[in-house]
Every structure is written in structure tokens, then in C-alpha cells.
Amino acid sequence: MTDAAPHIDWPRTHVHFIAIGGIGMSALARIARAQGATVSGCDCAESTILDELRSLGCTCSVGHSAAHLRGVDLVVHSSAVPADNPERHAALTLNIPDISRGRLLAWLQQDHDTVAISGAHGKTTTTWIAANLLIRAGADPTVAVGGVVSDLGGNARVGKSALFVTEADESDGSFLYLNPKYPVITNVDADHLDYYGNMDAIKDAFVRFTQAAPGGAVIACADCPNVQAILPLARSRVVTFGVGHGDIAAHNVRLEPGRAVYDAALPGGPIRNLVLSLPGIHNVRNSLAALALAHELDLPLDAVRDAFANTSSVGRRLERRGCVRGVTLYDDYAHHPAEIAATLESARMLAPRRLVGIFQPHRYTRTQLLHREFGSVFGRLDLLLIAPIYAASERPIDGVTSELIAREVQARGVPVELLPDLAAVPDRLAGELAPGDTLITIGAGDVWKAGDAALARIRADEDALGGAGILACPAADKSTRSTALAGVQGQADAA
């Protein structure tokens, strides 16, 4: 539970965000700025997010310096920023309050009817589906999403109603600072074990998350066994959702390229032929959480139908990046085996010919703990290229490399190659991709840049041929393409 928040006179407050370019931090910076605060921040590199914040009147710097704290009243840091950061150290010396991102979110949502959406997977998309529904229904919520949404013009908005819809991050336990009226749990899975240690600790955290629902209800997935295991310990009323069962249930699901259609059973009666403008069974479940919220808030059915049929995708969630000479590029943030499996199921439906993937593992700890699970989720690909691990804030672990995943993938018969780095992607794919092929980049790091570079290379090759040539494309039969494990080992040694 959150501590009582101090009264903040936002127009008279200067807030400085350390690591302001992060998706969660930037959302809060946007909200603070919309409340009238003077906002500054810094990050380790330039980004489009910094440019967008500058356009809103925020002062954004690259690099960390104690000088950034002149005139600052409040410092906010992400969980990845260490205590010895020069700006955090200066805040301590100057007696400037220094709080975490999760604590500021808790302060902002206090005195609201908060919808806090958490879970191992799907929380960003579910947050946007719910937010879009409330916006289109005229409920005017405040929103904080863990991804960029074109319809929001970013990742946050400030509304005038009491409703506050936010993604609730369980990765560092900060979701327990919140006091939601509607805690939503999409699923519970083995992730962030570097923080929790084991599944029992993860389940315990979600049990605590269910304790806060004053006057509201816990909205939870009936399809997830780990969720079902913790619900008997919830102290609040529980509303479940799922495919085929639950208080709010989807039936007769029809998955189509780029969308899903289903019938929904609710306590008040069925809804026929709900059209969801997002693909995959996982997004059906995500939408059911929003449908449960709509039922709790007694929103009109017409608003539900309109919102579901017109929900744009969140950036980096099966995002279509472009199409050049018949080669289509998608990008997805998926970085856990369960997420990748769901993404590739939907991507396969969008691929008329071959589906080629570039995967960038995220964090050494996740690779170490889940490399065997990663091996089983790439079966829908015709070719997989695996990049070196994106470390995030972690230090390397001896013996933990992308080769661990490559071995598991190859053992299941999927053609796989290790890349020395992402810069090698355009050359590797030159001549590989042909009209009708689909390329998808997968991972929470900067793998999307490699996809864009590959598409740019195809465009450049086309220009060099005067737009009349075609790229060479070898036989694409999956049964005839293979990569010897010796080759995988050799590439790993060269990386």
C-alpha cells in the first residue's frame, strides 16, 4: 500500500527525472508536466522520447550531473538507477526528496478510482484496451501506459474524471505501492526471478496486490493456473475472465489475420460477434479484462463495440514497421517465452510466405533461467537469427550467452544462426528475403533497429537496380534449411 502522499502544488514544483527516457518514467513526466510542474530529466542517450518531452516543455539532458539539480524540488529515479548515481548523491547532500518511479505513480493515483493492470504478460496492451474503452465511452480517465500509443500521442494522458488507468509493474515489487479500486491480473508466470527468487515469492506478491480493492473488485484471469491458485486468498470480491469459462467468458472465438471475433458471456446476458482490432487469442484474453471492467462500470454496449473494433496497437506490439519490395517488417517487444509464443502465433497468420525472425535475448538472468523454455517457442519460424544478449542494467554471467538458446532451438529442428552483433543483419539478409517474406524482430532491447536497417538495405538494393530487379532468394522449404551445431558454435566463438 502507498504511504500518504504529501500535498504537491504542481505549478510550483520542479521535478527532475533520472532516466527520463524510460517508458514508465516518461509517462509520469508527461503527467507531471500536464499538471503544471516544471519538469527536467536526463538519460544516457538521445531518443525520440526525449525529443517528444522537449516538445512539451521539459528540459532533457544526456548524461548525469549534479548541476542538473539546481532549483529542483523533487527527484524521481527508476529502479535501474543505483544509489551512487551522481544526481541521487547530490539530492541526498542537498536534502532534496528522492523517490522511486513506483512511489511517484502511487502518489499520483491516490484519491482516484484506480484501475491497476498487472501480470507477467499482456499488461501494456490490456492497459491500452481498457483506457481506449473508457476514453471512447466518455469517462475521461487519466492514463499511464507502458508503451507508446499513436492515438494518445505518447504514453499518457491527464483526464478530468476520478478514473486513473495505469500499468502496474510487478518486476521490482513497486505495484504494491498502489491502492487500486480495480486490481487486474492478466496472468502470473515465472519472470523477474532475479528479483523474486522463486515462484512462491511471485505468488505472494500478487496475493498482496489483491488485498487492495476498496469498493471495487479484483479482475483476474480464469485461464491461468497460478492466478487461480492465489484467488482464494483475495480479501475482495473477485471477477474472473477467460476463454470458455469465467464470469466474463469468450466463446466461439474466430482468429483472423490482424483481428479476432468472438461471442462474450456476461452476467447480464451474451454479446454476439464482438470484433477486436487486435490479433491473437492472447489479445482476446486482454480484451476480456477490459470487458469485465466495462461491466463493473456499467458502460454501454455500443461504447464497448466501438472501442474494441477501433483499438490501435501499442508501439512494439506486433507493430508493422514497413514493407519494401514485398518484404513486410514487424516488430514486437516480447522477451519471455510465453510472450514470444503468442506473438509468433499471430505473426504466422500475417505471413503469406516465409517468416524470418531476429531475436535479441533480454538480460543474462532471464537467459540463464529460461533458455530451455525459449527453445520451444520458435517453431513457427522458417529461420531464426539470434543476436547477443541485451544486458539492460545487468553484468555478464560466466557461461551465459545466446548460444544457450540457439542450442535449444536447433534441437527442435528450427533453422537457427547466431549473429556476431545486430550490425550484421543487413548483410546476412541481403539476398535472403524475397517478395512475400515477412521479417519480425523480437526483444525488449534495441533489436528493432536491425529490422529497420534490413528494410533500408532492401530499399537501397532496389534503388541500385533502378527498381526493376528482384532479390535472389534460395529455396525456402523449411525441411531443407538447417544450421549445423558446429556452425552455431563457430559463430559464438567469433562473436
Measured distance CA(222)–CA(245) in Å, rounded = 7
Q: Which of 87, 114, 123, 210 is catalytic?
A: 123
How far is Cα 311 from Cα 102, in angstroms, rounded to an integer?
27
End-to-end C-alpha distance for the chain, whole angstroms:
46
Q: How many CB atoms lie within 10 A of CB 270?
A: 10
Is 417 annotated in the active site? no
Q: How far is CA 438 from CA 15, 24, 149, 197, 334, in A?
A: 44, 30, 23, 38, 17
Per DSSP, helices labelled H in 64-218 are 86-93, 101-109, 123-136, 193-196, 199-210
Question: Amino acid identity of 469?
Answer: G
Catalytic residue among 114, 124, 166, 210: 124
Contact by Cβ (8 Å): 147, 333: yes
Q: How far apart are CA 40 and CA 96, in angstroms?
A: 15
Burial class of residue 480, CB neighbours in 10 A (0-12, 13-18, 19+): exposed
- How far apart (Å, rounded) are the C-alpha atoms in residues 158 and 435? 44
Q: Which amino acid is at 429?
A: L
Please count the CA atoms within 13 angstroms of the CA of 151 that sit on its side-chain side. 15
Q: Are 368 and 405 in contact (CB under 8 A)?
A: no
Of residues 239, 232, 235, the one with CA closest to residue 267: 239
Residue 167 among the catalytic residues: yes
- For cell 521535478, name the residue: 15
H or E element, residue 74: strand 74-77
Residue 469 in 3-state DSSP? coil
Question: For residues 337 and 371, is the Cβ–Cβ distance under 8 A?
Answer: no
Query: CA-CA distance, 98 to 96, in Å (whole number)?
Result: 6
Residue 432 to residue 447: CA distance in whole angstroms: 19
The active-site residue, picked from 52, 87, 167, 432, is: 167
Here the cell at position 54 is 522537449
Give yes or no: 345 in active site.
Answer: no
Q: Kindly write down the DSSP assignment for every residue of 326-354, as one continuous string.
A: TEEEEEE---SHHHHHHHHHHHHHH-SS-
Cell of 140: 475521461
* Residues assigned a catalytic role: 123-124, 167
